[in-house]
Amino acid sequence: MQPLGSDPINAAQWRALDAIGKRWSPPHEDDWLLAIDDTDNLTSRGTGFLARQLALRMAEAGIAEVKAITRHQLLVDPRIPYTSHNSSACLVLPSIVDRQTIFDYTCRYLLEESAEGSDAGTVLVQRKDLPDVVQQFGRAAKEQVLTQADARKLIVGHKIDMAGLTGTHGGVIGALAAVGLNASGSDGRFLWLKQLRGMSAECWKAGALEQATGVTIQSKLGAEVVINAEDSIELGEWPRAVFLQGQATLLVEKVDEGDFNGWRAASKNYIKRF
């Protein structure tokens, strides 16, 4: 197994989460979606790190299982206060002890771990209880300036737990958008998916890779391009799945160079578009 980057703290976190987290499986109505947003400042670790740490701590405490963490890009606009990219994170939990325990734990975690000057917010909802209007809210957050009032009005009458924890509480907007975008099954990329990042620089047969990780392998050119189970996949230095049509999807491109004829995971710059 190759090193997980140059940051030893980040690498240790990834390995620990790989060891205790659940293998990816497609969305299920009983999954719980737990989103956080606006937890950082310009000098702190980002929301992605805190989302992985939260998932790891809950798993270690035996109060939740995690099978994925997704990142969702929202509108970048000078009217919106954000740290660097205006993205939020959503944990996918196939099993929890009970909703109040998870919500209270997350609120305490964000109060303790969110950076000075942050405007942290969180949302918890079971997928089957998420109304379509929240998916619409998520899509709108990628194109429009929304307000806390918009978010708070939307959850009235629904089984959705939401709280602002620090600063202005503005993170509730991104957190609600994140659960809607995750529920759509076709937005964002995975901040954590069991095993995949640890396979960086390795070469696998397509069928074996799908079996090991649960990902779907798809050409950048579209699903109609055939990739056979025995085709070779070079994972490169930054293998990341994106969320497409309810599947954790590893996008690849055809390679025919020297002694290698197969597929290579799409570049970091390409995947960062998602």
Residue 171 has pLDDT above 70, yes or no: yes
Statement: residue 212 has pLDDT above 90 = yes
pLDDT reported for residue 261? 85
CA distances (Å), origin 270, targets 5, 242, 265, 274: 19, 11, 10, 8
Contact 127, 180 (CB under 8 A): no
Q: What is the structure's pLDDT at 77?
A: 65
Angle (deg, nearest 10), helices 47-61 and 8-20 = 40
**pLDDT tens per residue, range 32-56:** 999 999 876 666 788 999 999 999 9
What pLDDT band is residue 234 in, cutting at 50, 70 and 90? very high
Average pLDDT over residues 66-71: 98
Q: Among 67, 103, 78, which Cα is nearest to 190's?
A: 67
The pLDDT of residue 81 is 62
Report the range of poorest mean pLDDT among 12-16, 82-86, 117-121, 268-272: 82-86
Residue 3 pLDDT exceeds 90: no
Say which residue, 210 or 257, is predicted with more confidence: 210
Mean pLDDT of the residues in the chain: 93
